[in-house]
Structure 1
């Protein structure tokens, strides 16, 4: 009788070792090694990753797939995907439990079924009755939307061959298994092999697929990292379950940009698209408040205006606290250091809390000036007219206000929403003044900007 061989796989990163280890050398996580049986080639015939019947040809003769997209029925989803679904594309969507992943893909699948043909929704976590209950609440009851509760990849492949859908949804990849493997569903080998099979089916038959994936407690994608490299697009749904707004962001996209975001609002009837997110984020803006100011960022081609709030209070004991919600904590510490050194603001013994209203996470440096002015406003007890003033600019370590990209787009968005004054870098002020009716205050240093809000 042949000796059974085994290996140990890290369930976090996929690192392989012939013996058990308490700590994975690859990702340095503890107790993630699990034993799996090594099967011989005779017992296990690995499916090819991709089936192609074409021959090599000149790149000039290859037909571009740029126009072979079809509408998902959700403009915000189309924006993040780069214009719509690409035939044969494999898209991975992740997010925390209850954030709205299944709601979004069910709404999209119903819209695609109404416009383009048969859609197959495969769920490994819910029964057909549970899917129907959610579909009735969302009014996603297209005739060509077919649902099935199945976890066997080989059976799913037969369903795809039989029904010939134009779009397939798998919810979720961690529940699928392949009978040839002895490991449990959700293990590294099962996830890799199931994803390989789905990719082979989608690429060979030109069927776009959406795969839902779980996330870890740290908010990272569960399963091996190789899964992110295999798929064409990685979407991440973020936001707080206690808040109404959801942000859909592309972390990887082979068919478009990764800088676009989609904004949704969670309501009883499902996810509602937010076409003007700036107005939504500024709904509860207080006209006169200490430590509150409006800043702008650009996500892809869309400028967004958001409110930043800062609170500065004396530290009772120990080291002062620095808390940042929605912005990088290291960037906040840098701005605090500049305020202390270049402006002389005594913040060493103060607790400082900075938050972005609406749950949005800001990237880049365009909000630096607004953060500094909000901290100064809270520290000195000076109210800023949030409805009238917007601050845009990067704060350097020397206390200078540097130019930022897409400044003209941000100013136009602020003008459209009724802002009267814009505080911007001095080098850009001459160009901006000629293109807007807003009052533009060009500042070269942080001191100049703070003098504008001094009593």
Structure 2
């Protein structure tokens, strides 16, 4: 029989492409495995801790948050770290994962905690040079360069560290393991051993992970089930800004994002994300509109652009960046059916600027406005902001946290806001949003009236 050197899949005949991990030329001939004659016997064992009720929870240790002092990071993980928390952070090469981890390690060590930063890719001299460049000075932050699993487990069990950072987990080796270097089985085994040792010692762990060709966290989706928090560090490719997204968090929300700027002295949090996302917006541009998007508890202004052009293909294109393509097709169909805007013979291109992805329903109205604006070649006034959900009947429905959205528009100097009629009762008596003109609408046909 044949076994894949990458993922361990078994095949009764040789194949050039593994049916499980889809790797080429990884199937090697092995001797047939015999069934083990050993019978696993389960024994009853008394646990160290008895079950508790909610009333008994007052006697347990409280869940104290550890503030790193980096506002954007604390917001992403849910108001700070928790002692014993395991975090997986992924990103493309050069995006700043190691820089972020060093800065976080220094801030946490400044709180009086003992931190060990282990690099499996750089020498100890390289780590120290990077730390000096970032002006790190905490006396309880220790550095080490090694990549063997047994040595790492020794430090966890005997070092008395509060947090351990491993950069990166793909470079850890397991002596005597039959799995290929960096394979799914090896990473799963490594992550399980380290997290199990950390749980026993109440030691937190950070795992730095690379990304694969498709842009996902390299190796294992199984790692995401093992850790408490999964973060993804992304770059817009065209500037020095970075976006930190949270995809899983057992100790907080997954709706928050952190925005950073890369400088000579490391990463710095961006205090005003709205100014970044709309900084290069042009005036009098048909198809361009600003929307107030909600990411967790934070409102940000983001530019939405649409381009409508004639199509010479049997099926016109619908190309989208930063938004679901199905949503665009639905909005185009509603505009054609209810408002008579002939889009079935047009190609539609929609883009959300700044490298951010928006999935909330409030993006419907600004997308509809941008499509109609491009179709009619009529630009919106420069100070307009729009948000709202559109249904299949052409009605505009209310969205949550409309006051927070309008407040952000007021702070950024916008003069007009197009929003659902049903949200008017929430905002008309709020004094902090005075100075902006409110334009409540209940139907999409009102968009055409504003443009004409």
- What TM-score, normalized by structure 2, do the two folds share? 0.88
Residue in structure 1 matching 2:247, options 245, 251, 257: 251
Residues 105 and 20 from structure 1, CA distance in 2 versus in 1: closer, same or farther, beyond 3 angstroms? Answer: farther
Q: Which residue of 2 aligns with 1:49?
A: none
Q: Which residue of 2 aligns with 1:146?
A: 142
Q: Which residue of 2 aligns with 1:443?
A: 441
1:415 paired to 2:422: no
Whether the aligned pair in 2 keeps the contact of 1:76 and 1:262 (CA below 8 Å) is yes
Residue in structure 2 matching 1:158, options 129, 145, 154: 154
Note the residue ranges of structure 2 that are not aligned, 5 or more in a row: 37-45
- Cα deviation code 1:257-282 (max 9, x no counterpart): 11111111222322110122112222
Query: Which moved further from structure 2: 338-347 or 57-66?
Result: 57-66
- Cα deviation code 1:350-385 (max 9, x no counterpart): 332221121111111101111111121122121212
- Cα deviation code 1:211-257 (max 9, x no counterpart): 01122111122223221111111111123233322211111111111
- Cα deviation code 1:194-218 (max 9, x no counterpart): 1111111210111111001122111
Whether the aligned pair in 1 keeps the contact of 2:90 and 2:233 (CA below 8 Å) is yes
Note the residue ranges of structure 1 that are not aligned, 5 or more in a row: 43-51
Whether the aligned pair in 2 keeps the contact of 1:36 and 1:182 (CA below 8 Å) is no
User: SS at 1:238's partner residue?
Assistant: strand
Shift of 1:446: 0.6
Q: Which residue of 1 aligns with 2:49?
A: 55
Residues 25 and 392 from structure 1, CA distance in 2 versus in 1: closer, same or farther, beyond 3 angstroms? Answer: same
Partner Cα distance (1:131, 1:116) in 2: 22
Instruction: Give the number of equivalent residue pairs.
Output: 437
Cα RMSD over matched residues? 2.8
Residues 296 and 362 from structure 1, CA distance in 2 versus in 1: closer, same or farther, beyond 3 angstroms? Answer: same
Whether the aligned pair in 1 keeps the contact of 2:2 and 2:11 (CA below 8 Å) is no
Partner Cα distance (1:17, 1:365) in 2: 47
Shift of 1:34: 5.3
Residues 354 and 451 from structure 1, CA distance in 2 versus in 1: closer, same or farther, beyond 3 angstroms? Answer: same
Partner Cα distance (1:19, 1:140) in 2: 56
- Cα deviation code 1:160-198 (max 9, x no counterpart): 344322211011111112214232331122111111111
Whether the aligned pair in 2 keeps the contact of 1:245 and 1:358 (CA below 8 Å) is no
1:110 paired to 2:106: yes
Whether the aligned pair in 1 keeps the contact of 2:169 and 2:187 (CA below 8 Å) is yes
Partner Cα distance (2:220, 2:28) in 1: 16
Q: Which residue of 1 aligns with 2:210?
A: 214
Q: Which residue of 1 aligns with 2:390?
A: 395
1:294-305 map, 5 Å = 294-305=290-301
Partner Cα distance (1:174, 1:184) in 2: 11
Shift of 1:332: 1.4
1:184 paired to 2:180: yes
Q: Which residue of 2 aligns with 1:201?
A: 197
Query: Which moved further from structure 2: 181-190 or 395-404?
Result: 181-190
Whether the aligned pair in 1 keeps the contact of 2:293 and 2:300 (CA below 8 Å) is yes
Shift of 1:154: 0.4
Q: Which residue of 1 aligns with 2:400?
A: 405
Residues 115 and 329 from structure 1, CA distance in 2 versus in 1: closer, same or farther, beyond 3 angstroms? Answer: same
Whether the aligned pair in 2 keeps the contact of 1:8 and 1:19 (CA below 8 Å) is no
Q: Which residue of 2 aligns with 1:335?
A: 331
Shift of 1:64: 5.0
Q: Which residue of 1 aligns with 2:82?
A: 86
Residues 16 and 110 from structure 1, CA distance in 2 versus in 1: closer, same or farther, beyond 3 angstroms? Answer: farther
Shift of 1:22: 5.7
Query: Which moved further from structure 2: 416-425 or 251-260?
Result: 416-425
Query: Which moved further from structure 2: 444-453 or 283-292?
Result: 283-292
Q: Which residue of 1 aligns with 2:167?
A: 171
Residues 330 and 65 from structure 1, CA distance in 2 versus in 1: closer, same or farther, beyond 3 angstroms? Answer: farther
1:324 paired to 2:332: no
Whether the aligned pair in 1 keeps the contact of 2:170 and 2:182 (CA below 8 Å) is yes
- Cα deviation code 1:286-335 (max 9, x no counterpart): 34322111101211111111111222233466643322111111111221
Whether the aligned pair in 2 keeps the contact of 1:116 and 1:166 (CA below 8 Å) is no
Q: Which residue of 2 aligns with 1:347?
A: 343
Residues 411 and 35 from structure 1, CA distance in 2 versus in 1: closer, same or farther, beyond 3 angstroms? Answer: farther
Partner Cα distance (1:40, 1:256) in 2: 47
Q: Which residue of 2 aligns with 1:48?
A: none
Shift of 1:7: 4.7
Shift of 1:26: 5.9
Shift of 1:40: 11
Shift of 1:110: 1.5
Whether the aligned pair in 2 keeps the contact of 1:392 and 1:423 (CA below 8 Å) is yes
